[in-house]
Each structure stands twice: as C-alpha cells, then as structure tokens.
A and B are shown apart, each in its own frame.
Chain A
Amino acid sequence: GQQLNQSPQSMFIQEGEDVSMNCTSSSIFNTWLWYKQDPGEGPVLLIALYKAGELTSNGRLTAQFGITRKDSFLNISASIPSDVGIYFCAGNSGGSNYKLTFGKGTLLTVNP
C-alpha cells in the first residue's frame, strides 16, 4: 500500500526560529494536506495543495506540492510557543477514493 515518510520525527527549537518538515511518498499523490494536532484534540487543517508545484501560504506557514507529486514540505517561520504540537502530512491519490494516507507526524517543541 501507499506509504508516507515524514521527517523529522521531532524537533526542538527556540522561539523565533524557522522550522521545516517534509513528506515523501512511494507513489504519486493528487492532493497534499498538512494538519496540526494538539494533545487530546482532532487534527486541524492548515494548508491544502492540489497542483504539482503549488506553493501556498497561511500566515507564517508555507507549504509546497512537489513537482514530482511524490513530496511536500511545510515551513513555519518565526515560531512561537503556540506552534507546539504534532504536524501531519496527508495525501490522496485521487479518483473516487477520498481516503487520506497520513505520515507519522512531526512533534514540534518550541522553547520560549
């Protein structure tokens, strides 16, 4: 089945630093999504990408859909303490199947 490799697994950074995480896939995806999950909560959609090469921003967050359609990255600029959480990438291969395949997540810790 499809697999998503998400890295890094965890990150410890100082407030104000920039963060980058990425996902790679063993197969082509038509959609890449990035979510953030706080402890005990459901994931919240941050950015959705639908076209190869697409670069989309949401405030301090920027994500790109790789041109090979097998990878995506998420950048967070000028991190703040509330950025702490687990970030998941998710992909969909299209067709009538709307199922998402999730990466294993990146745990982000921001030190004030």
Chain B
Amino acid sequence: GAVVSQHPSWVICKSGTSVKIECRSLDFQATTMFWYRQFPKQSLMLMATSNEGSKATYEQGVEKDKFLINHASLTLSTLTVTSAHPEDSSFYICSASRTGYRSTEAFFGQGTRLTVV
C-alpha cells in the first residue's frame, strides 16, 4: 500500500512552453500533497503544500503564478510549470500523506526530470 505515482518521469520542453506534472495516490486518499524541487546532489526543497479543494500554500521565494498547483481530488495533484525557462530545469518530486493515518508519514512519487531547452 501507499503508492504514489508521478507522471511523466521525464520531459523535455522548449523554452516558453508550459509543462504539467501529475501526482496520484494509487491506493489511498491524500488530503495533503507536497511538491519539491531537487537540484543535483542536493536535498529536497519544499515548493508548496497542496490541500484538496483549497489553494496551495507556497514557500517563500516560490512564484505561485509560475508554478500552478491544482489538487482537485483526494488522489490527484498537478503542478504546471508555466512559461518554462532553462533555469526551471530540475527534478520535481511530489509526496502524499495518507488521510486518517499519521499524516507526517509521507510517501513520494518517482520524480519528474524536467529539461527546458
């Protein structure tokens, strides 16, 4: 149990285009999902907290108009990188906490490698 699926696993896009990344909890409901960004050989940096049915809470320094987050159901959250630029190239990872369980026990997706050319 507690499987989180992230799609796509990698994507290459042209500068100026938008990219959508999906995060699904396959066998549990997730009231809260988190989006992280990870640079090579570095730790995970929290970008935003996504709560089902409400607006996401962004960390300081993260542009909410650039990184659009939608959490429309208890099993799906999406991150859209709008007007992507090369500096947005990174590894993006989502995590989900199981509703009704110890919510701090977060499970991660496989990650999405975004390359903007």
Which A residues form the contact surface with B (CB < 8 A)? 30-31, 33, 35, 40-45, 48, 50, 88, 90, 92, 98-100, 102-105, 107
How far, in whole Å, are A99 and B32 apart by their CA atoms in the complex? 10
Are A98 and B108 neighbours in the complex by a CB distance under 8 Å?
Answer: no
Interface string of B1-45 (1 = CB under 8 A from A): 000101000000000000000000000000010100000011110
Verify B44–A40 contact, CB threshold 8 A: no
The answer on a CB contact under 8 Å between B102 and A42 is no
- Asked if residues B97 and A43 are in contact (CB atoms below 8 Å), the reply is no
> Contact at B104–A103, with CB atoms within 8 Å?
no
Among candidates B32, B91, B106, residue contacting A33 with C-beta atoms closer than 8 Å: B106
Cross-chain contact A45 with B107 (CB below 8 angstroms): yes
Q: List 9 A-B contacts (CB under 8 A).
A: A40-B111, A42-B6, A42-B95, A45-B105, A48-B102, A48-B105, A88-B43, A88-B44, A105-B43
Please name all residues of chain B whose beta carbon is closer than 8 Å to the beta carbon of A31 when the two chains form the complex: 102, 104-105
With the chains together, A58 CA to B113 CA distance in Å? Answer: 30
Q: Please report the number of residue pairs spanning A and B whose Cβ atoms sit closer than 8 angstroms.
A: 59
B93 within 8 A of A: yes
B115 sits at the interface (CB 8 A): no
Query: What count of chain B residues pass the 8 Å CB interface test?
Result: 25
A3–chain B nearest beta-carbon distance, Å: 11
Contacts of A88 in B (CB 8 A): 43-44
- A48 contact set on B, CB distance < 8 A: 102, 104-105
A50–B105 CA distance with the chains assembled, in angstroms: 10
Do A40 and B113 touch (CB < 8 A)?
yes
Given the complex, which residues of B lie within 8 Å of A104, measured CB to CB? 42-43
CA gap between A104 and B38 in the complex, in Å? 11
Decide yes or no whether B103 CB sits under 8 A from chain A. Answer: yes
Expressed in whole angstroms, the Cα–Cα distance for A111 and B46 within the complex equals: 33
Given A88-B44, A102-B44, A104-B42, decide whether A41 and B110 contact each other with a Cβ distance below 8 A. yes
Which residue of chain A has its CB nearest to the CB of B44?
Answer: A102
